[in-house]
Amino acid sequence: MTRSNTKPAQGGVDVAGATPMMAQYLEIKSRYPDALLFYRMGDFYELFFEDAVQAAAALDIALTRRGKHLGRDIEMCGVPHHSAESYLQTLIRKGFRVAVCEQLEDPAEAKKRGHKAVVKRDVVRLVTPGTLTEDSLLDARSHNYLAAWAEIRGEGAVAWLDVSTGDFHVAACPRPALGPMLARLAPSELLASEAAAGDEALGSLAREAGAVLTPLPRSSFDSAGAEARLKALFGVEALDAYGAFARPQLAAMGAVVAYVELTQRGKLPMIRPPAVEGPGGAMRLDAATRRNLELTRTLSGRREGSLLAAIDRTVTGAGARLLETRLAAPSTDRDEIAARHDAVDWFLDRRDLAGAAREALRKTPEIERALGRLALERGGPRDLAAIRDALARAQDLAAALSGAEAPARIARALEALCGHDALVGLLDAALIAEPPLMARDGGFIAPGFDPELDEARSLRDEGRGVIARLQGSYVERTGINALKIKHNNVLGYFVETPATHASRMMSEPLSQTFIHRQTLANAVRFTTVELSELETRIHNAGARALEIEQRRFQELRAAVLERAPAIAAAARALAEIDLSAALAELAAQEDWTRPQILPGREFEIEDGRHPVVEQALRRAGESFVPNDCDLSAEGDDARPVWLLTGPNMAGKSTFLRQNALIAVLAQMGAFVPAARARIGVVDQLFSRVGAADDLARGRSTFMVEMVETAAILNQAGPRALVILDEIGRGTSTYDGLSIAWATLEHLHDVNRCRTLFATHYHELTALAARLPGLRNASVAVREWEGEVIFLHEVRPGAADRSYGVQVARLAGLPEAVIARAREVLEALERGDRREGGERVRALADDLPLFSAARPAPAPAPARAPSQVERRLRELSPDDMTPRQALELLYELRDLLDDAG
Ligand SMILES: Nc1ncnc2c1ncn2[C@@H]1O[C@H](COP(=O)(O)OP(=O)(O)OP(=O)(O)O)[C@@H](O)[C@H]1O
């Protein structure tokens, strides 16, 4: 054997010289080098070599060895197949991909080919983060997107699919917009061509969005191949009916479909025709803005504490997913926004109906994902029952909500809820109330639905009863009371009579029915055609019942899939109703109002509040102080730029964020926490509010801040809303002040967008005199007996001073430091602020900055150890018996007494 012509697989393991089974394993593994191979052996999935090492560590299970391969131990670990799902879940969460390799024939079949023959096996599915369908592997309240990024001659596109629901979208996406797009979609897996995936910048964008980056060969992104693939998928001659797609869009969609085909091994999920998102259809929010505003996750990555958690009143998984999708991509289309507001308004006016609808929805099972699993041949009877129950409830819901004149969007939803009677009737008749998860073991078809099945089951279950009845009828026919039907392993079922009746039994007419089998000393045994038929039927009844159930399951599945588009539309309608009713509930509970969305560049908020802070304060028994904001860029005396000053802790960040959140809420279709809101459509929202070190990328706080500020100044257009908090804070005073100054001027003169700018550089307030679009505002505090009281009120005009020292005192800085800070502050306020300036230098000379105003207390003089302490120090507790310890206690107490 020469090494050069052997095929290395899996890190240098050679196929040649392997046992037949190992050779099969290595051949299959060589096709899935990037995945862990779950190799089915009987009741277990086994993993070998490096896969075993990695999986054992990730799953915290035992790593063992199984023989040798070419002189080397084979590492092995295994998971039982019936609990494989939970292990899969752990592995997928940890970023692995798993190729599931099954036995494709009964081991007995293989044996027929010779005792060394290996059972046929192959991979039936590649499990990856973006292609999950099982409820146990998915979060019910979040989408799970598989996205693909394609670029052709500088033009880019992103396509995204939720494999579990079939939701399929595509949008043009130039490279600079990819970051915001990924931040919005938060896909769990991103596909890119091998060439693109090698780009470190793309890798880091994917990581930031929390996605696993999967490189695919260039051929998967071929746009001509993609077009053919999509046409075949949707069974159409041309894709025009779905929209006009640019080449990169085709390439991205094609890659998604190719990858799904690859991972599902040819079984395609239900994929809806792609919805094309037009340019500018959604408000643009970059990753930093989403993070800063804590829209769907807090800065620490939790849902709790985010805006999403504060406003989520939905009662179904699909409703929650729709809310998250809308919140991640607020609309810029006024008609769309108005339609959403109309739906909320309608429910708000009919709270009793909304309440009833929510009650009904609460009991409605999830159908989008059930439908997805059925399409992928991964569904079971429980999925059918979910569809039956949900559609039945949908009809009731439609009946309850009809009558009252509904706005267009609700009316359309109600329509989609109806017309499923035939299917519901079929499923109702066919299925038991609460069927099992899997079709495998049967027991889900309702009695009375299929006479053949009922008979098979009654034979299976009541075999003895049927035999007893037959025996009764034979006794009657022969008049022989001692006639019995018995069973043994040689004859199977037979009729037995005492020998005395032999001659009668064996002569006409009884001999026509009873066929003689055996004569014993005291008894004669017979069989009958009926009995042997019955025997075969009893024998096969169980298997037959199962087979009929499987056939019925496939028929029901086909009936459901035939109506898949209508069922999916009903599922979407349920989600829409859930979300509209939930937003109405929210508006009523929290006293929110319908915002006016205008074509111009207005931004007038009266009595606005921060939804998350307000709820937190309420829990603590405190109330939120509402504030107005007017950034309108319309009219002659428009002042679209507000410069906000005020002490730390006064509420500047809260005010900035609340106005950004109001814009997001308004345009996603919700009501807003304000007494009145008039908002001209915002097409981009930028927020730079505080920053954390990005040490992973080797950037300091200041660098992060500057990168984000640069993005805003370069990209913010006239319809943008910009929120900037304390720009320049991360560098020396005068550098920071200069950067803040120039940034403010640029926003005012060049970007000319609606801007909220909070700063602690009071020098900037002077700019109001020169910049006509700039207005000073400040957060009010009151000083009382040397303490500051925060009023949280935003008022016109600049703040007089910053109260930083008072706030520091509230935070518990030592009195000595506070007193010293006051002295320095006074000195600075008397003179110029320039670092290195004369007065500052004098101050540093006169009053050494780090000497304490009051002498520090002298350290306590060293004290000689007491006798008790000395005795204790000498001890070695390990060497003492309990008795000695007790004696020692007495001794110590005596020592104390002596000392006292
Ligand atoms: N409008 C308000 N009504 C009531 N309480 C408020 C209001 N705004 C802010 N607060 C309270 O004040 C705290 C501080 O607010 P915030 O963080 O916005 O201050 P800040 O001025 O940005 O401070 P810093 O400059 O130190 O970041 C909040 O956590 C909140 O509890």
| Å from CA of 814 to ligand 1 middle | 23
**Long-range CB pairs of 485-494, under 8 A, 24+ apart, other chains included:** 485/531, 491/517, 491/518, 491/525, 491/527, 492/532, 492/535, 493/467, 493/527, 493/531, 493/532, 493/534, 493/535, 494/518, 494/525, 494/526, 494/527, 494/531
Ligand 1 nearest atom to the CA of residue 794, by list position: 1
Which amino acid appears at position 430 of this protein? A
DSSP structural state of residue 282: B
Ligand 1 nearest atom to the CA of residue 657, by list position: 18
**Long-range CB pairs of 181-185, under 8 A, 24+ apart, other chains included:** 182/147, 182/158, 182/206, 182/208, 182/209, 182/211, 182/287, 183/208, 183/209, 183/285, 183/286, 183/287, 183/290, 184/282, 184/285, 184/290, 184/328, 184/329, 185/145, 185/147, 185/158, 185/160, 185/209, 185/328
| Å from CA of 650 to ligand 1 middle | 5
Report the pocket of ligand 1 as residue ranges, CB < 6 Å: 613, 617, 624-625, 627, 648-654, 792
Nearest CA residue ID for atom 8, ligand 1: 651
Report the residue among 649, 762, 789 best suited for mutation to probe ligand 1: largest number of ligand atoms under 8 A from its CB.
649
Q: Say which residues have a Cβ less than 8 Å from residue 239's Cβ, sequence separation at least 6.
A: 227, 230, 231, 245, 250
| Å from CA of 329 to ligand 1 middle | 27
Nearest CA residue ID for atom 5, ligand 1: 624
| Mean pLDDT, each 10-residue run in order, the chain (900 residues) | 36 62 92 94 93 93 86 90 88 89 88 85 91 80 92 93 91 90 92 89 89 90 91 88 89 94 83 84 87 88 91 95 94 95 96 92 91 89 95 91 86 94 96 91 93 88 81 92 88 90 87 90 92 82 90 96 93 96 97 96 96 94 94 83 87 94 98 97 87 52 79 90 83 78 91 92 87 90 76 84 67 75 73 52 48 42 74 79 84 77
Query: Is residue 711 marked as binding?
Result: no
Closest CA to 629 of 607, 652, 601, 654: 607
| Å from CA of 797 to ligand 1 middle | 19
| Å from CA of 894 to ligand 1 middle | 60
Tokens of 182: 């990924």
Residue pair 786/806 in contact (Cβ under 8 Å)? The answer is: yes
Query: Is residue 653 marked as binding?
Result: yes
Reported as type and span, the H/E element at residue 754 is strand 754-758
| Å from CA of 649 to ligand 1 middle | 5
| Å from CA of 654 to ligand 1 middle | 5
**Long-range CB pairs of 61-66, under 8 A, 24+ apart, other chains included:** none
Q: At what angle do helices 368-375 and 564-590 cross, to 10 degrees?
A: 160
Query: Is residue 812 marked as binding?
Result: no
**3-class secondary structure, 496:** strand
Residue pair 150/225 in contact (Cβ under 8 Å)? The answer is: no
β-pairing verdict for 676-680 and 275-277: unpaired
Query: Longest Cα pair distance anywhere in the chain, in angstroms?
Result: 138
Reported as type and span, the H/E element at residue 486 is strand 484-488
Nearest CA residue ID for atom 14, ligand 1: 649
Instruction: Tell me if the pTM is above 0.80.
Output: no
Query: Is residue 652 marked as binding?
Result: yes
**3-class secondary structure, 536:** helix
Write phi, then psi, for 856 (nearest 5 degrees): -70, 145
Report the residue among 613, 628, 629, 781 best suited for mutation to probe ligand 1: largest number of ligand atoms under 8 A from its CB.
613
Nearest CA residue ID for atom 1, ligand 1: 625
| Å from CA of 828 to ligand 1 middle | 27
Query: Is residue 646 marked as binding?
Result: yes
Query: Is residue 381 marked as binding?
Result: no
The CA-atom distances, in angstroms, between 342 and each of 336, 337, 407, 656 are: 10, 9, 6, 28
pLDDT at 837: 52
- Where do the H-state alpha helices sit in 418-496? 421-430, 451-478
Q: What is the DSSP string of 463-483?
A: HHHHHHHHHHHHHHHH--TT-
Reported as type and span, the H/E element at residue 590 is helix 564-590
Write phi, then psi, for 597 (nearest 5 degrees): -105, 120
pLDDT at 17: 67
Write phi, then psi, for 99 (nearest 5 degrees): -95, 120
Q: How many CB atoms lie within 10 A of CB 382?
A: 20
Q: What is the DSSP string of 375-399?
A: HTT---HHHHHHHHHHHHHHHHHHH
Q: How many CB atoms lie within 10 A of CB 224?
A: 11
Reported as type and span, the H/E element at residue 416 is helix 408-417
Ligand 1 nearest atom to the CA of residue 725, by list position: 22
Reported as type and span, the H/E element at residue 788 is strand 787-796
Ligand 1 nearest atom to the CA of residue 626, by list position: 1
Ligand 1 nearest atom to the CA of residue 654, by list position: 18
| Å from CA of 624 to ligand 1 middle | 10
